[in-house]
Amino acid sequence: MDEQQILVTTQNFVKKQLEGEGSGHDWWHIERVRTMALYIAQEEGGCDLFIVEMAALLHDVADPKLHGGDNSQARRELHSFVDGLGLEQKVRDHILYIVENSSFSRSLEGKDTNKTKEFMIVQDADRLDALGAIGIARCFMYSGHKNIVMHDPLVIPRENLTKQEYKGTQGTAVNHFYEKLFLLKDLMNTATAREVAQGRHRFMDEFLKRFEEEWYGKK
């Protein structure tokens, strides 16, 4: 298969894998991340667009949170699929490395990561989809999916979370903004993503100010 055929085959595989997904990590999240990743790649230059697009398409297929914390079967299916595409070994390894190491929870482990240009672009694109109007919608969608309370003023946002702490408690939807989403602006790798993140961050900040006003009946 040529690269275009591989991309179409991969798109179909991902759509099938995420069919019925209702936590905000569905096909349309993948499509937005792909579109943003390609935009950043074009703006930044100096990268392999095929690797960027493939990693963007596959980045959530074996995410543990979509598989009840146990992604062993999904990971085997992912590797089997990629191995069947006939890619060069270094291309195959690069794509899988991005997919398996670019998540926010992975970054909390404190381990060194080989941040290639392609890695940084896909990571930025995924993080940008957690910001702004879409980010707000996805946060509350995920919270509802997991039966997480919207807000509790008595539950204080946690700081400097480890990976286990991040995954180990439900918290609240509003606290998720302070524990993760508001941190992402300063974690962007590329100049292009940093610029986009600024506006999306401001929108979320304005939203939470209005949320608090309405919560306490001020407006």
Residue range of the domain that includes 11: 3-215
What residue ranges of the chain have pLDDT lower than 50? Answer: none
Q: Tell me which residue of 86, 103, 122 sits closest to 2, measured CA to CA.
A: 86
The CA-based dihedral angle spanning residues 97, 116, 11, 103, taken in that order and rounded to the nearest 10 degrees: 60
| Tally of domains within the chain | 1
pTM of the model: 0.91
Which one-letter amino acid corresponds to residue 202? R
* 148-177 pLDDT per residue, tens: 999 999 999 988 766 565 565 668 999 999
CA gyration radius for the chain? 18
Distance CA 125, CA 129 (A): 7
Q: What is the domain-level CATH number for residue 52?
A: 1.10.3210.50
DSSP string, 85-106: TT--HHHHHHHHHHHHH-SHHH
